Structure 1
Protein backbone atom coordinates (compact mmCIF):
# COMPACT_ATOMS: atom_id res chain seq x y z
CA UNK A 1 0.00 0.00 0.00
CA UNK A 2 1.17 3.49 -0.69
CA UNK A 3 1.52 6.20 1.96
CA UNK A 4 -1.60 8.14 0.98
CA UNK A 5 -3.73 4.98 1.18
CA UNK A 6 -2.38 4.20 4.65
CA UNK A 7 -3.01 7.76 5.86
CA UNK A 8 -6.51 7.81 4.39
CA UNK A 9 -7.34 4.43 5.92
CA UNK A 10 -6.08 5.61 9.32
CA UNK A 11 -8.18 8.77 9.18
CA UNK A 12 -11.25 6.81 8.11
CA UNK A 13 -10.81 4.35 10.96
CA UNK A 14 -10.67 7.25 13.41
CA UNK A 15 -13.99 8.54 12.05
CA UNK A 16 -15.62 5.39 13.39
CA UNK A 17 -15.39 7.05 16.83
CA UNK A 18 -17.78 9.71 15.52
CA UNK A 19 -20.11 7.00 14.25
CA UNK A 20 -19.91 5.38 17.67
CA UNK A 21 -20.91 8.70 19.27
CA UNK A 22 -23.82 8.86 16.86
CA UNK A 23 -24.86 5.42 18.04
CA UNK A 24 -24.94 6.64 21.62
CA UNK A 25 -27.06 9.62 20.56
CA UNK A 26 -29.38 7.26 18.68
CA UNK A 27 -29.69 5.00 21.71
CA UNK A 28 -30.64 7.98 23.87
CA UNK A 29 -33.35 8.92 21.38
CA UNK A 30 -34.76 5.42 21.16
CA UNK A 31 -34.85 5.12 24.95
CA UNK A 32 -36.57 8.49 25.32
CA UNK A 33 -33.62 10.20 27.02
CA UNK A 34 -33.17 12.53 24.03
CA UNK A 35 -36.34 14.13 22.66
CA UNK A 36 -37.05 12.85 19.14
CA UNK A 37 -40.21 12.26 17.18
CA UNK A 38 -40.81 9.20 15.00
CA UNK A 39 -39.43 10.89 11.87
CA UNK A 40 -36.26 11.91 13.65
CA UNK A 41 -35.76 8.47 15.18
CA UNK A 42 -36.12 6.74 11.81
CA UNK A 43 -33.78 9.23 10.10
CA UNK A 44 -31.23 8.93 12.91
CA UNK A 45 -31.28 5.14 12.52
CA UNK A 46 -30.86 5.40 8.76
CA UNK A 47 -28.04 7.93 9.10
CA UNK A 48 -26.18 5.81 11.61
CA UNK A 49 -26.55 2.64 9.54
CA UNK A 50 -25.48 4.35 6.32
CA UNK A 51 -22.42 5.83 8.02
CA UNK A 52 -21.20 2.45 9.24
CA UNK A 53 -21.86 0.55 6.03
CA UNK A 54 -20.45 3.24 3.74
CA UNK A 55 -17.28 3.60 5.80
CA UNK A 56 -16.65 -0.13 5.39
CA UNK A 57 -17.47 0.03 1.67
CA UNK A 58 -15.17 3.04 1.32
CA UNK A 59 -12.29 1.21 3.00
CA UNK A 60 -12.80 -1.86 0.82
CA UNK A 61 -12.90 0.33 -2.29
CA UNK A 62 -9.73 2.11 -1.16
CA UNK A 63 -7.88 -1.16 -0.69
CA UNK A 64 -9.12 -2.71 -3.94
CA UNK A 65 -8.28 0.30 -6.09
CA UNK A 66 -4.88 0.74 -4.44
CA UNK A 67 -4.06 -2.94 -4.76
CA UNK A 68 -5.12 -3.10 -8.40
CA UNK A 69 -2.53 -0.61 -9.58
CA UNK A 70 -5.26 1.14 -11.58
CA UNK A 71 -4.65 4.71 -12.64
CA UNK A 72 -6.54 7.64 -14.07
CA UNK A 73 -10.04 8.52 -12.94
CA UNK A 74 -10.34 5.19 -11.10
CA UNK A 75 -8.22 6.54 -8.25
CA UNK A 76 -11.06 9.01 -7.47
CA UNK A 77 -13.45 6.13 -6.72
CA UNK A 78 -12.56 5.66 -3.03
CA UNK A 79 -12.86 9.41 -2.43
CA UNK A 80 -16.33 9.42 -3.97
CA UNK A 81 -17.46 6.43 -1.91
CA UNK A 82 -16.03 7.92 1.28
CA UNK A 83 -17.68 11.26 0.44
CA UNK A 84 -21.00 9.42 0.32
CA UNK A 85 -20.20 8.10 3.81
CA UNK A 86 -20.25 11.72 4.97
CA UNK A 87 -22.95 13.22 2.75
CA UNK A 88 -25.69 10.63 3.15
CA UNK A 89 -25.60 10.38 6.96
CA UNK A 90 -25.36 14.18 7.14
CA UNK A 91 -28.48 14.36 5.00
CA UNK A 92 -30.34 12.01 7.30
CA UNK A 93 -29.30 13.82 10.48
CA UNK A 94 -29.41 17.45 9.34
CA UNK A 95 -32.68 17.20 7.42
CA UNK A 96 -34.66 16.52 10.59
CA UNK A 97 -33.16 19.11 12.91
CA UNK A 98 -35.52 20.98 15.17
CA UNK A 99 -37.95 20.42 17.97
CA UNK A 100 -40.65 18.43 16.16
CA UNK A 101 -40.17 18.36 12.37
CA UNK A 102 -42.99 16.79 10.40
CA UNK A 103 -40.99 16.37 7.20
CA UNK A 104 -37.33 16.58 6.17
CA UNK A 105 -35.96 20.05 5.39
CA UNK A 106 -33.94 21.15 2.35
CA UNK A 107 -30.78 19.52 3.64
CA UNK A 108 -32.27 16.21 2.48
CA UNK A 109 -30.61 17.15 -0.84
CA UNK A 110 -27.41 15.79 0.74
CA UNK A 111 -28.94 12.31 0.45
CA UNK A 112 -29.17 12.67 -3.32
CA UNK A 113 -25.73 14.21 -3.66
CA UNK A 114 -24.30 11.38 -1.56
CA UNK A 115 -26.16 8.75 -3.59
CA UNK A 116 -24.75 10.25 -6.81
CA UNK A 117 -21.22 10.24 -5.36
CA UNK A 118 -21.67 6.64 -4.25
CA UNK A 119 -22.94 5.49 -7.65
CA UNK A 120 -20.16 7.32 -9.50
CA UNK A 121 -17.50 5.94 -7.18
CA UNK A 122 -18.74 2.37 -7.47
CA UNK A 123 -19.04 2.53 -11.27
CA UNK A 124 -15.53 4.01 -11.54
CA UNK A 125 -14.11 1.38 -9.21
CA UNK A 126 -15.94 -1.50 -10.86
CA UNK A 127 -14.95 -0.54 -14.39
CA UNK A 128 -11.39 0.24 -13.30
CA UNK A 129 -10.97 -3.06 -11.49
CA UNK A 130 -12.33 -5.00 -14.44
CA UNK A 131 -9.94 -3.11 -16.71
CA UNK A 132 -7.00 -3.81 -14.41
CA UNK A 133 -7.94 -7.49 -14.30
CA UNK A 134 -8.25 -7.74 -18.07
CA UNK A 135 -4.86 -6.01 -18.44
CA UNK A 136 -3.29 -8.63 -16.19
CA UNK A 137 -4.75 -11.43 -18.34
CA UNK A 138 -3.18 -10.09 -21.52
Structure 2
Protein backbone atom coordinates (compact mmCIF):
# COMPACT_ATOMS: atom_id res chain seq x y z
CA UNK A 1 0.00 0.00 0.00
CA UNK A 2 1.49 3.38 -0.98
CA UNK A 3 2.23 5.79 1.85
CA UNK A 4 0.24 9.02 2.20
CA UNK A 5 3.26 10.91 0.80
CA UNK A 6 3.41 8.57 -2.19
CA UNK A 7 -0.33 8.94 -2.80
CA UNK A 8 0.04 12.74 -2.74
CA UNK A 9 2.92 12.57 -5.20
CA UNK A 10 0.93 10.22 -7.46
CA UNK A 11 -1.87 12.81 -7.51
CA UNK A 12 0.58 15.57 -8.39
CA UNK A 13 2.06 13.43 -11.17
CA UNK A 14 -1.39 12.72 -12.60
CA UNK A 15 -2.06 16.45 -12.71
CA UNK A 16 1.35 17.00 -14.32
CA UNK A 17 0.23 14.76 -17.17
CA UNK A 18 -2.18 17.55 -18.09
CA UNK A 19 0.85 19.71 -18.92
CA UNK A 20 2.04 16.94 -21.23
CA UNK A 21 -1.32 17.18 -22.99
CA UNK A 22 -0.75 20.88 -23.61
CA UNK A 23 2.69 19.98 -24.95
CA UNK A 24 0.96 17.67 -27.40
CA UNK A 25 -1.16 20.57 -28.59
CA UNK A 26 2.02 22.63 -29.05
CA UNK A 27 3.48 19.81 -31.17
CA UNK A 28 0.40 19.77 -33.39
CA UNK A 29 0.88 23.50 -33.96
CA UNK A 30 4.48 22.87 -35.02
CA UNK A 31 3.65 20.09 -37.47
CA UNK A 32 0.86 22.20 -39.00
CA UNK A 33 3.38 25.00 -39.59
CA UNK A 34 1.77 27.43 -37.16
CA UNK A 35 4.90 27.57 -34.98
CA UNK A 36 8.24 27.83 -36.80
CA UNK A 37 10.75 25.11 -35.89
CA UNK A 38 13.67 23.51 -37.68
CA UNK A 39 14.24 19.74 -37.92
CA UNK A 40 16.45 19.67 -34.80
CA UNK A 41 13.83 21.50 -32.76
CA UNK A 42 11.03 19.26 -33.99
CA UNK A 43 12.93 16.10 -33.08
CA UNK A 44 13.97 17.45 -29.67
CA UNK A 45 10.47 18.72 -28.89
CA UNK A 46 9.04 15.30 -29.77
CA UNK A 47 11.65 13.53 -27.65
CA UNK A 48 11.05 15.87 -24.71
CA UNK A 49 7.30 15.37 -24.94
CA UNK A 50 7.60 11.58 -25.12
CA UNK A 51 10.10 11.37 -22.27
CA UNK A 52 7.91 13.55 -20.06
CA UNK A 53 4.87 11.32 -20.55
CA UNK A 54 6.66 8.01 -20.19
CA UNK A 55 8.63 9.07 -17.13
CA UNK A 56 5.55 10.45 -15.37
CA UNK A 57 3.68 7.17 -15.92
CA UNK A 58 6.75 5.17 -14.84
CA UNK A 59 6.95 7.33 -11.70
CA UNK A 60 3.36 6.45 -10.83
CA UNK A 61 4.03 2.74 -11.37
CA UNK A 62 7.09 2.79 -9.12
CA UNK A 63 5.32 4.75 -6.38
CA UNK A 64 2.49 2.20 -6.41
CA UNK A 65 4.87 -0.61 -5.39
CA UNK A 66 7.88 1.03 -3.73
CA UNK A 67 6.48 0.53 -0.23
CA UNK A 68 7.22 -3.20 -0.73
CA UNK A 69 10.92 -2.56 -1.35
CA UNK A 70 13.56 -3.43 1.20
CA UNK A 71 14.79 0.17 1.31
CA UNK A 72 14.84 2.97 3.84
CA UNK A 73 16.30 6.43 4.33
CA UNK A 74 18.15 7.92 1.40
CA UNK A 75 17.75 4.81 -0.76
CA UNK A 76 13.97 4.79 -0.40
CA UNK A 77 13.90 8.52 -1.16
CA UNK A 78 16.03 8.01 -4.29
CA UNK A 79 13.89 5.10 -5.51
CA UNK A 80 10.69 7.08 -4.88
CA UNK A 81 11.61 10.54 -6.15
CA UNK A 82 14.39 9.86 -8.66
CA UNK A 83 12.16 9.08 -11.63
CA UNK A 84 9.92 12.13 -11.06
CA UNK A 85 13.08 14.27 -10.90
CA UNK A 86 14.27 12.71 -14.16
CA UNK A 87 10.82 13.46 -15.61
CA UNK A 88 11.63 17.14 -15.08
CA UNK A 89 15.32 17.18 -16.00
CA UNK A 90 15.27 15.12 -19.19
CA UNK A 91 12.45 16.96 -21.00
CA UNK A 92 13.91 20.27 -19.82
CA UNK A 93 17.19 19.29 -21.45
CA UNK A 94 15.45 18.46 -24.71
CA UNK A 95 13.32 21.61 -24.78
CA UNK A 96 15.70 24.22 -23.41
CA UNK A 97 18.75 23.09 -25.38
CA UNK A 98 17.16 23.97 -28.73
CA UNK A 99 15.45 27.26 -27.91
CA UNK A 100 16.06 30.18 -30.20
CA UNK A 101 15.73 30.92 -33.85
CA UNK A 102 16.96 28.07 -36.05
CA UNK A 103 19.62 26.48 -33.79
CA UNK A 104 22.11 24.23 -35.56
CA UNK A 105 22.87 22.11 -32.51
CA UNK A 106 21.84 21.85 -28.86
CA UNK A 107 23.16 24.53 -26.52
CA UNK A 108 24.82 24.02 -23.13
CA UNK A 109 21.52 23.25 -21.41
CA UNK A 110 21.76 19.75 -22.90
CA UNK A 111 23.52 18.92 -19.61
CA UNK A 112 20.03 18.77 -18.04
CA UNK A 113 19.27 15.74 -20.22
CA UNK A 114 22.40 13.92 -19.04
CA UNK A 115 21.77 14.85 -15.41
CA UNK A 116 18.29 13.36 -15.81
CA UNK A 117 19.77 10.20 -17.32
CA UNK A 118 22.09 9.82 -14.31
CA UNK A 119 19.27 10.34 -11.80
CA UNK A 120 16.97 8.00 -13.72
CA UNK A 121 19.60 5.26 -13.83
CA UNK A 122 20.38 5.55 -10.12
CA UNK A 123 16.67 5.52 -9.21
CA UNK A 124 15.83 2.52 -11.40
CA UNK A 125 18.76 0.46 -10.13
CA UNK A 126 17.90 1.33 -6.53
CA UNK A 127 14.19 0.61 -6.94
CA UNK A 128 14.85 -2.61 -8.82
CA UNK A 129 17.29 -3.98 -6.25
CA UNK A 130 15.08 -2.87 -3.37
CA UNK A 131 12.01 -4.54 -4.85
CA UNK A 132 13.89 -7.75 -5.58
CA UNK A 133 15.22 -7.77 -2.00
CA UNK A 134 11.75 -7.06 -0.64
CA UNK A 135 10.26 -9.87 -2.74
CA UNK A 136 12.91 -12.36 -1.69
CA UNK A 137 12.48 -11.41 1.98
CA UNK A 138 8.72 -11.97 1.70
CA UNK A 139 9.14 -15.53 0.37
TM-score range, shorter chain: over 0.9
Q: CA deviation at 1:64?
A: 1.3
Q: Deviations over 1:84-133 (max 9, x none)?
A: 11110010000000011000000000110000011000000000001101
CA RMSD across the alignment: 1.0
**Aligned with residue 107 of structure 1, among 105, 109, 124:** 109
Q: Deviations over 1:2-55 (max 9, x none)?
A: 211111000000001111111111111111100101100000000000001111
C-alpha distance in structure 2 between counterparts of 1:76 and 1:38, whole Å: 36
Aligned to 2:84: 82
C-alpha distance in structure 2 between counterparts of 1:33 and 1:18, whole Å: 20
Contact kept? 1:19, 1:48, Cα under 8 Å: yes
Q: What SS does the corresponding residue of 1:49 show, helix, strand or coil?
A: helix
C-alpha distance in structure 2 between counterparts of 1:99 and 1:85, whole Å: 26
C-alpha distance in structure 2 between counterparts of 1:57 and 1:119, whole Å: 13
Aligned to 2:123: 121
Moved over 4 A (4+): none
TM-score, L = length of structure 1: 0.94
Contact kept? 1:65, 1:75, Cα under 8 Å: no
Q: Deviations over 1:50-91 (max 9, x none)?
A: 00111111111111102x153311342120011111110010
Q: What SS does the corresponding residue of 1:57 show, helix, strand or coil?
A: helix
Aligned to 1:71: 71
C-alpha distance in structure 2 between counterparts of 1:20 and 1:114, whole Å: 21
1:1-138 equivalences in 2 (<5 Å): 1-66=2-67, 68=68, 70-72=70-72, 73-137=75-139
TM-score, L = length of structure 2: 0.94
Uncovered stretches (5+) of structure 2, i.e. residues with no partner: none
